Amino acid sequence: MIRDSAREYAERVLKPNAARWDREEKFPEEAVAEAAENGFLGLTVPEAYGGAGLGNLHACIMLEEVNRWCASTGVTVSVHLSLVCAPLSRHAGEELKARYLPRLASGELLGAYCLSEPHSGSDAAAMRTRARKVSGGWVLNGTKSWITNASHAGLFIVYAVTDPDRPKGRNIGAFVVERGWKGLEVGKKEEKLGIRASSTCEMQLADVLVPDENLIGDPYSGFKVALDTLDGGRIGIASQALGIHRACLEDSILYAQQRQQFGRPIGEFQAIAWKLADMATDLDAARLLTQRAAALRDQGAACTREASMAKLFASRACNRAAQDAVQIHGGAGYTQEFAVERYYRDARVTEIYEGATDIQRLVISRLLLK
């Protein structure tokens, strides 16, 4: 049912518009609003807080469908669910959950996750944003970089160092900050290679006062929250890679059947046919890895290694598929007449955000050698 409803939504709302949104770098507001109406923005939020109470596996299936037609909408929804709704559901106290989850589930608030900074991407714990304790709350100062959804988000989970004298990684808090609070500025919008309709902005925090009750957990365990969150986020990005990969495969099959050279469809040339076979095999393998990680997380089992493996494999396979899809389309694939040009650009980021490819290898190998 989830697959059917996501597919119906994606084909009706995203398919006719995704290329234009990409060209115009236009945030897909209508698509996000309709995703909310369909219940996708609350898919994994517990029913007690207005969500559908479903799991990561359901989210994975929904995200593959959304990303099949629009990776910009895909990342918007993925970040909202896996990087914002999930940590609130899993780590916040009752009061914070009751205050924010229903508004996130309904789409009244779109979520953003603020970890990266100009000087700290892969080495996220080296962040410089500071939270200073004052009576009744914390005062946040710093700069966050590449924040997805920032231009349209109503709620930001901001990570900040609460005590620079404590060991790195055990000195970070996770704060819930609302849009419009004094001192929070959404800065320059990035002009990107791909997922151009998604919002990616810099953010400044200048003396932003956050009340004590908006801290998730204790003031020093925020980095643990961030890493647990990324296990789910990586399943979301692996699902994005599945959607883009499937788009590359489906479009390539069609083109290989239609395009004639040397008197026959190019799909009859073994060089093309074998590319299609490899793309399809990689896609199935990536989907199985991703759905295994999602199922483990739904069971409450540790899934750090599996989530990293899924993201590592799915993102690389998706980039190989995008490369082959452009090649199969020849000159046409290099123009905006054909969507594979966009898939090729969109695929690239799946190997970068929520832990670049080599960071996934680092995570997996550390667990193997431990």
Ligand X SMILES: Cc1cc2nc3c(=O)[nH]c(=O)nc-3n(C[C@H](O)[C@H](O)[C@H](O)COP(=O)(O)OP(=O)(O)OC[C@H]3O[C@@H](n4cnc5c(N)ncnc54)[C@H](O)[C@@H]3O)c2cc1C
122 binds ligand X (CB under 6 A): yes
Cα 354 from Cα 231, distance rounded (Å): 9
Cα 92 from Cα 157, distance rounded (Å): 11
- Smaller CB distance to ligand X: residue 200 or 291? 200
Strand ranges in the chain using DSSP code E only, listed in sequence order: 111-114, 130-134, 137-148, 155-161, 172-178, 184-189, 200-211, 215-216, 260-261, 264-265
- Smaller CB distance to ligand X: residue 2 or 359? 359
156 binds ligand X (CB under 6 A): no
The region of 265-273, 282-290, 325-333, 350-358 touching ligand X under the rule CB under 6 A is 350-358
Out of 15, 50, 53, 116, the residue judged to bind ligand X by CB under 6 A: 116
Q: 107 near 36, Cβ under 8 Å? A: yes
DSSP 241-306: HHHHHHHHHHHHHHHHHH-EETTEEGGGSHHHHHHHHHHHHHHHHHHHHHHHHHHHHHTT---HHH
147 binds ligand X (CB under 6 A): yes
- Smaller CB distance to ligand X: residue 69 or 353? 353
Q: 144 near 131, Cβ under 8 Å? A: no
- Smaller CB distance to ligand X: residue 148 or 162? 148
Out of 44, 89, 200, 350, the residue judged to bind ligand X by CB under 6 A: 200
Cα 223 from Cα 169, distance rounded (Å): 6
362 binds ligand X (CB under 6 A): yes
Out of 85, 101, 114, 215, the residue judged to bind ligand X by CB under 6 A: 114
Q: 215 near 139, Cβ under 8 Å? A: no
* Active site annotation includes 354: yes
Minimum distance of ligand X from residue 343's CB (angstroms): 16
User: Counting every residue, how long is the chain?
Assistant: 370
Cα 177 from Cα 108, distance rounded (Å): 15
Report 68-97 residues binding ligand X (CB under 6 A).
79
356 binds ligand X (CB under 6 A): yes
The region of 61-69, 160-168, 264-272, 345-353 touching ligand X under the rule CB under 6 A is 345-353
Minimum distance of ligand X from residue 14's CB (angstroms): 19
Report the candidate in 11, 9, 5 with the shortest Cα–Cα distance to residue 247. Answer: 11
146 binds ligand X (CB under 6 A): yes
Binding-site ranges for ligand X (CB under 6 A): 79, 113-116, 121-122, 146-148, 192, 200, 349, 352-356, 358-359, 362
